[in-house]
Amino acid sequence: MKRFLTLFTMLILSGVLALAQTHMVTGRVTDDKGDPVSGASVIIKGTSKGIPANADGVFSISAKPNDVLVITAANFGKSEVRVGNQNSLAISLKPASNVMEEVVVTALGQTSKKAKLGYATTTFTSEAINRTANVNAFDGLAGKIPGAEISNTGGPGSSTKIVMRGYGVLTEGGNQPLYVVDGVPLLDARLNSGSNVLSGANNVGTVGLTGQNDFGNGANDINPNDIESITVLKGTAASSLYGSAARNGAIMITTKRGKAGKISIDYAGSANFSKVGKLPTLQNKFGQGWNATFIPGENGSWGPRLDGIVRPWGSVVDNSQLIKPFSFINDNIRKFYTTGLELNNTIAVSGGNDRSTFYFSYGNVESDGVIPTKSDYLARNNLSLRTNNKFKNFSINTSFNYVNRKVNQPATGQGSTAGSTIFQDILQIPVDIPIHDFRDYTNKFFDVNSYFTPYAENPYYGLHNNSNSQSSDRFFANIDMNYQFTSAFAAQLRVGGDVENARGFAYNAKNAPDPGSWDAGGNTEGAPRTADVGSVIESNNYVGSINGDFILKYNKDISNNFNLDIIGGVNYNQADTKTGFAGITNLLIPGFYNLSNSTKQPTTAGARSRTRLIGVYSQATLGYKSQLYLTLNARNDWSSTLPINSNHFFYPGGDLAWIASNSFNLKSSPISYLKFRAGYGKTGTTAPVYSVYPVLVAGSVPLPFGNIAFPFNGVSSFRIQNTIANANLKGVITTETELGMDIRFLNNRIGLDVSLYDKSADGQILNVPISPGSGYNFLTENIGLIDNKGIELSLDVKPVSTKNVTWSFNYNYTKNVNKVEHLTNGLTKVTIFGIIGGAELDAVPGKTATGIYAFGPQMTPDGKVIVSPTSGKPLPTTNRIYYGNAENDFSMGFSNTLKFKEWQINFSLDYRDGGKFYSKTAEQLLFTGGAVPTTYNDRRPFIYPNSVIQNGVDGNGKPVYVENTLPITENSLQDFFPEGNNPALAYSHDIIDRSFLKLRDVSLSYVLNEKIASKIKMHNLSLTIYARNLLLWTPASNLYIDPEASNFGNDLTSQLGEFETAPISKQFGVALKANF
């Protein structure tokens, strides 16, 4: 019995001792300056048990005295600490001395040390993304990524354009990168954006005669305050595992997750004020009128010289007329705009323990732009919930995100019989007439009956009576499950979905001037204004996708010198779209915006599609002594949009990274890190939906301006589409080779990263025009090869790094050369996009795929301009001529950071050199006489310089030219500049230099000392004042608009330019961040 009691006592004591061995250890991770290292990874060595530090660098973990904690963080060296009997640990991490420890997110959402990669990547932290409180996560990255063109095209809620390493695909939307959130692809559709199909224009391949709307792209739905980091994979070698969707690179977005420890509350808020940016510079010499004569009903500034004399102006109403000085009005257009206000707030709650964590956030944006009323308005609400759970060898992570969005956008571009557009109306106000006075649009002198001119409408009327809006609901989510079979072998199953429903509603008011009124023909010219018949449009767009990956992973040191890392998996992707549209014109009852309010049959359209893609892929990385890494990958996809007998394509890839600084002893040299890399990748692009087999479409009869759509007069009609489908269609194959070097000096104080690339896209899929005699207008086929070659350079310098002062800056440079190598079947050009009868974006063999072509003057062999013998104006060419490349010749960016104790100053510059773009804003002002070039020669008669007139032919049939002596008269000057009257010369004024220099952002931040903040139970309390797009320089030839402004989308077509679009604004604001 004694022995039994003794044994029992010993067992109890040993159990107690065993329990006593495990205890809770709390610690704080800081850098060498004492600042917390947020998100540092704390893992018990030899196990998978670990936990991340919270925003203050604090962690708690259950451990035994003999356990060793391994602490790592991006850009810091690794630290190992034995637990012992300590309950509290203070851990200091030193900056990584050789960049070997920096971790980035790569394809399929996997993480890897950057040193192992054979391709270029760029990573931004949450602090860099949100420094100036951008509503769109990517706007703050413009000018900061070599090889990436990032631009915001308009006002609140508008699209952001991101194009990496040039334009390789000739179809709209084909050059955007793949956006990936936590390993799952995100839809980036521009729902309800584009042309108003009721405006009476033929929209096939052309623009400019319709109202244009931009309600933004899908990637801008993400709340920037929810983002932990963004990694940009530019090369095909980096993103080819994603298949065709990542042919233009991938943007990997990692969202914030909960961290173990006490409940944490984070707040980020900002108030932002906006002012209109660059506006046209107007001539200040001549006032209202036409033919050098003052005419009170004219919309042009082709009148007499401004003299400041008070005189009557505008309409005559009740035998009275307004008076004002005949003087130029400074900042006339600018006075139309107001100060915009944007409020951006996010609050997040997170917490958990070492097994389960959660993160919940709510973000709200309300942004009212610079246009009066809420015509340019964004309201966005974001809800996010993310959880992480660990159960021994199994973990499951979830993410649920809901976005509600309301956007108002004024229609831009050309007006129609349904109604005008405000920007076109603004540009038709003479330089001496005060725009701001028209805000009282019901005033008897400014209303529908008595607006000063019958050739345009009061812009304030359109603001208050016409509308374009979109409301959308979006839900995207994913579940990520991992199981660790052994220390070397694991499996991952990740399933995600993204669905959005967007509802568009637009209307134009019906109105007509009363008989006998000024605008009904009672003006001095007897010109009546065309009545606005009004319109109503309702649309519904649904997009949805399901994406699933099952991945097997193996990582093991196969010897002392070699490591093998293998992943293999299968991918399933399904995408669905459904669109519905209905619209009417010729409203019966004014102010009643319902689809039943018309005697005309509604125009309706509907479409739905479903595509599927199944892929299998694998990747293997062999590492040698932390010096050499060889990666090989391959993917095979089966696509539902390709011919069923050849619906798959295979693309391999590989890259090599050599860390030379680990192969040689460079300690005595100034080189602290040296890496060479090479990569090769290939991806396939599947065909557009319904390109392989013929489909039925609703019947229509095209007209020069519009078309007759069926059903018509009670008769329905369907026909085979007028494009011949191609059962032999193949996917577009994009191939890229990349070479690079990363070298750091003086303990990483100076770093230089250089990349050279050659990227080609073969088998472009386009609808090629064919003879109408065939019964069709187009044939879908693979037609050509586009090549992009370029260089990217990034220089990081840290001149000062002390305990109290840190100064660092980055310079980046990009040059891309685009070329159409060839087109098939004897094609001499492909028109990508164009304006009816005007400028075009054409792809021509041997030249750039982004060339701008338009009519020009006929020239003699010795360079003289041939003019008309009757008007003295240059004769236009029969065919369009090349005006220049729509891409910039090169671009540069510069970012600067200066930190002094708790203060920090940041600014960044973005310079883009060369390139051309078409401006309809310029053309409209040249037509109305408001543009500076219209004062050429002080509007006195002149003979066009270096011009000749053909005077018959010689004996050999060659033209004989004599000097031109026929002047352009004072009364015909208004016909010298517009495209319609003088196409030979108009485009030399309308196609202008795309160059610009922008002060993208500047900010001043103060972080409250942690000791003081802790006394009020707060952490990381910071206040920032900032400005965005504060300064803009453009060449002297650009007197009109910011070159980034466009209403032609956010891809290749936007390179053509703009068509009387909204200006881009500059912002000033204050931001507050705090952690509780």
Separation between Cα atoms, residue 1046 and residue 207, nearest integer Å: 12
Separation between Cα atoms, residue 684 and residue 697, nearest integer Å: 29
Other C-beta atoms closer than 10 Å to the C-beta of 40 total: 27
Q: Which residues contact 1067 (CB under 8 A, 6 or more apart)?
A: 272, 273, 274, 275, 342, 1027, 1028, 1029
Dihedral sign, CA of 966, 970, 974, 978?
positive
What is the H or E stretch that residue 507 is in?
Answer: strand 489-508
Separation between Cα atoms, residue 1032 and residue 1045, nearest integer Å: 13
The residue assigned the tokens 């984070």 is 266
Q: Which residues contact 873 (CB under 8 A, 6 or more apart)?
A: 867, 944, 968, 975, 976, 981, 982, 984, 985
Report which of 966, 870, 920, 931 is spatially closest to residue 302, judged by C-alpha positions: 931
Report which of 454, 405, 416, 449 is spatially closest to residue 537, judged by C-alpha positions: 416
Please tell me whether the overall predicted TM-score, pTM, comes out greater than 0.85 for this model.
yes
Residue 287, phi then psi, degrees to nearest 5: -110, -160
What is the H or E stretch that residue 1015 is in?
Answer: helix 1010-1015
- CB 242, CB 108: distance < 8 Å: yes
What is the H or E stretch that residue 662 is in?
Answer: helix 660-663
Other C-beta atoms closer than 10 Å to the C-beta of 391 total: 10
Tell me the one-letter amino acid at 96.
Answer: A
Q: What is the pLDDT of residue 75?
A: 67
Q: What is the pLDDT of residue 738?
A: 95
What's 343-365 look like in SS3? EEEEEEEEEECCCEEEEEEEEEE
Residue 492, phi then psi, degrees to nearest 5: -135, 135
Separation between Cα atoms, residue 662 and residue 675, nearest integer Å: 9
What is the H or E stretch that residue 5 is in?
Answer: helix 2-21
pLDDT along the chain (1076 residues), means of 10: 46 41 79 74 74 74 84 78 85 67 72 82 91 92 94 87 92 86 90 52 34 84 94 84 84 90 92 96 97 95 96 95 96 96 96 91 97 95 96 94 95 83 95 96 96 96 94 96 94 96 94 96 94 93 95 93 94 95 93 93 88 94 94 93 88 93 89 94 86 82 66 77 86 92 94 96 87 84 93 96 93 97 88 91 94 97 95 95 97 96 96 97 96 96 95 91 94 92 95 97 91 78 95 96 92 92 95 93
Separation between Cα atoms, residue 992 and residue 394, nearest integer Å: 60
Other C-beta atoms closer than 10 Å to the C-beta of 962 total: 11
Q: Which residues pair with 222 in a beta bridge?
A: none
What's 532-545 look like in SS3? ECCEEEEEEEEEEE
Helical packing angle, 920-928 and 983-990, nearest 10°: 120
Report which of 213, 239, 528 is spatially closest to residue 376, judged by C-alpha positions: 213
What is the H or E stretch that residue 481 is in?
Answer: strand 467-484
Structure token pair of residue 567: 């992943």
Tell me the one-letter amino acid at 793.
Answer: L
SS3 645: helix
Separation between Cα atoms, residue 681 and residue 742, nearest integer Å: 20
Whole-Å CA distances, 206 to 832, 833, 924 = 9, 6, 18
What radius of gyration do the chain's Cα atoms show? Answer: 32
Degrees to nearest 5, angle at CA 935 with 931 and 941? 140
For the CA atoms of 163, 168, 169, 170, the dihedral, rounded to the nearest 10 degrees, stands at 100
Tell me the one-letter amino acid at 982.
Answer: N
The residue count of the chain comes to 1076
SS3 141: helix
DSSP 936: G
What is the H or E stretch that residue 404 is in?
Answer: strand 394-408
Separation between Cα atoms, residue 404 and residue 77, nearest integer Å: 42
What is the H or E stretch that residue 180 is in?
Answer: strand 178-181
Alpha helices in 553-596 (DSSP H): none
**C-alpha distance across the termini of the chain, in Å:** 60
DSSP characters for 812-845? EEEEEEEEEEEESTT---EEEEEETTS-EEEE-T
- CB 303, CB 288: distance < 8 Å: yes
SS3 270: strand
- CB 302, CB 973: distance < 8 Å: yes
**Domains parsed from the chain with CATH numbers:** 20-95 (2.60.40.1120), 129-277+339-419+466-692+727-850+886-924+992-1075 (2.40.170.20), 285-327+426-465 (no CATH)
- CB 124, CB 230: distance < 8 Å: yes
**On the CB side of 943, how many CA atoms lie within 13 Å of its CA?**
10
Tell me the one-letter amino acid at 49.
Answer: K
Q: What is the pLDDT of residue 247?
A: 84
What is the H or E stretch that residue 918 is in?
Answer: strand 916-919
Separation between Cα atoms, residue 1066 and residue 1029, nearest integer Å: 5
